Chain A
Amino acid sequence: MIPLTHSLFVGALLFTLGAAVVLLRRELLFLLMGLEIMFNGAALSAVAAGQHWQGAEGQVLAIFLMAITTAELVVALILVWLAYQRFQAICVDDLVALRDGRSEDSP
């Protein structure tokens, strides 16, 4: 019915959009959402490919992706919350403790 290529393309497009969100937005919550979109693009590709070969493997992979995202997200969310509580930071630009201390003035 639908060529596999089209499903894969939708997945790729979602992945790209997610990457764009991650790269272009600076709010922590937006970054997490961008990651979500990327994961989902990957999941769509997996499911589509799985259906192409008419096996359960694609769905299994998608389910594992969900488990991994869930684990990653709960930890990330609590970290966002802690960052907000401690540093009043909602943007990644406010969290620069890793910055090389001796080059504050560099462009």
Chain B
Amino acid sequence: MYKLIFYLTAVIAIGAAGAILIVRHPVHAALYLIASLLALALLFFLLGAPLVAALQVILYAGAIMVLFLFVMMVMDLRPASNERLALPKGWRVPTLLVAALAVELAVVVFQAPLSGDEIWVSVGPKAVGQSLFGTYLIAVEVAAILLLAALVAVLYLSRRSRP
């Protein structure tokens, strides 16, 4: 049962991500992305990381993607009639590159001496929190500064009047 759910979710995550490649309308793409993100959240949960799973939903699906949709709605993008999705000029090289990337990553993953099944251990929010605010405190502070910088940048960029 557990395995079935895991692989099904993985397929959904990958399928939804693949759909973004071919859909025409950004809002539909965003929906597929949300589906992929939610599936990924479930994967996190199944792997035994409930905190990251919850944060994934709250942060990505709940905040970032809403922001995405908001921008799309403000821009009011409409699909330009019923045209087929044309492959952009010069698609061959990137496609080749992506294929090569897939191969190389597959080699990396399957070459690694990591076979064998996992023991399922759930690492709860308490452990993660203690790790974050203990060992990785400096990184947390730096991340806070980064977020502050982003905040300032956005405020600056979105000023009404510019000289």
Contact = CB atoms under 8 A, between A and B. Distances in A.
Interface of A: 1-10, 12-21, 23-27, 29-30, 32-34, 36-37, 40, 43-44, 47-48, 50-52, 54-60, 62-64, 66-75, 77-82, 84, 90, 93
Given A3-B118, A5-B109, A20-B98, A75 B21 contact: no
- SS class, residues of chain A in contact with chain B: helix
B88 A26 contact: yes
Contact of A7 (B47, B101, B130, B147): B47
A102 B75 CA distance: 33
Interface residues of B, number: 79
Interface of B: 2-3, 6, 10, 13-14, 17-18, 20-21, 26, 29-30, 33, 36-37, 40, 43-44, 46-49, 51-52, 55-56, 59-60, 63-64, 67-68, 71-72, 74-75, 77, 87-88, 91, 94-95, 97-98, 101-102, 105-106, 108-110, 112, 114-121, 123, 127-128, 130-132, 136, 139, 143, 146-147, 149-151, 153-154, 157-158
Contacts, number: 219
